[in-house]
Copies of this chain bind each other. A is one copy, B any other.
Amino acid sequence: MDEPTDLRRLRGDRTRRAVLDRAVQEASVRGLDALSFGALAQDVPVNKSGIAGLFGSKERLQLAAVERAAEIYTEHVVVRARAADRGLARLWALVLAWTEYSRSRVFEGGCFFRTVEIEFDMRDGAVHDAVVAAQQAWESYLVHQAQVAVGAGELAPGTDPAQVAFEVNALLNAANDRSLLLRDDAVYERAIQAARSLLAARGADLAALR
C-alpha cells in the first residue's frame, strides 16, 4: 500500500522541478538574490507557502537552483561533447557546445553561472562555495581534456593544461558577456576563432578544429 506515498512524492518532485526550472531562468537574468517565494509563485502552479514548504529557506532555494543549473549546464555542454573522443577532439567539442549553449540562451540571461559568479564573488557562505565548486568542476574538466591532449601528442609537449583551460574559458565567458551586453552575436565567431588560434599555436592540427 505504498502507492499513495510514492505518488505524493512524485508530485512533490515534479513541483520542485517546476519551481527550480523557473528559478534558474530568473536567476540567470536578475541573480540569485532576486529570487523570492512570492515572485516565483506567480509563474508556477504552486502558491507561495507551498514553495516555502518545499525549500524551507531562501538560501536552500538558491542552493537547489545552483544544483539544477549545473545539471542543465552538464546536459547542454558536457554530455553533448562526449560524442567526441577524449583529448583535443573533446576540448574542441566543448568549445562548440559551450558557444551554442550560450548563443541559444538555454538560460534566458545567458550562462547562469556568469551571473551568479559575479553576484557571489565577494561573499562567503554556502552559496558562494557551491558556485565556486561548480566553476572548479568545469575548469578541471577542461584542464583534464587538455592534459589528455598533451599526453596523446595532440598538443605540443610542455603545454600547460591549466593555462589552456584558463584561456579557453576566458574566451567563452567573454563571448557570453559581450553578446548579452552589446546584443551582438558576432563575438561567438571571435571566440571560436581565438580558441582555434591558441590551440593551433600549441601544435593542434587545424583539421581537428572545425
Contact present for A181 and B109 (CB under 8 Å): no
Chief secondary structure at chain A's binding surface? helix
| A122 vs B27: C-alpha distance when bound (angstroms) | 12
If A170-B170, A170-B173, A201-B201 touch, whether A194 touches B135 (CB-CB below 8 Å) is no
Question: Within A123-181, which residues are at the interface with B (CB < 8 Å)?
Answer: 131-132, 135-136, 162-163, 166-167, 169-171, 173-175, 177-178, 180-181
B residues within 8 A CB of A114?
A: 118
Contact present for B187 and A197 (CB under 8 Å): no
A10 within 8 A of B: no
Contact present for A173 and B177 (CB under 8 Å): yes
Question: Within A172-198, which residues are at the interface with B (CB < 8 Å)?
Answer: 173-175, 177-178, 180-182, 187, 190-191, 193-194, 197-198
With both beta carbons as reference points, the residue of chain B lying nearest to A128 in the complex is identified as B181
B residues within 8 A CB of A109?
A: 121-122
B residues within 8 A CB of A120?
A: 181
Shortest C-beta distance, A83 to chain B (Å), equals 27
Chain copies in the assembly? Answer: 2
A121 partner, pick from B110, B132, B191, B197, beta carbons under 8 A: B110
* Binary interface encoding of chain A residues 100-130 relative to chain B, with 1 for a CB under 8 A from any of its CBs, else 0: 0000000011100011011111100000000
A163 partner, pick from B31, B135, B167, B190, beta carbons under 8 A: B190
Question: A: which residues have CB within 8 A of B?
Answer: 29, 31, 108-110, 114-115, 117-122, 131-132, 135-136, 162-163, 166-167, 169-171, 173-175, 177-178, 180-182, 187, 190-191, 193-194, 197-198, 201
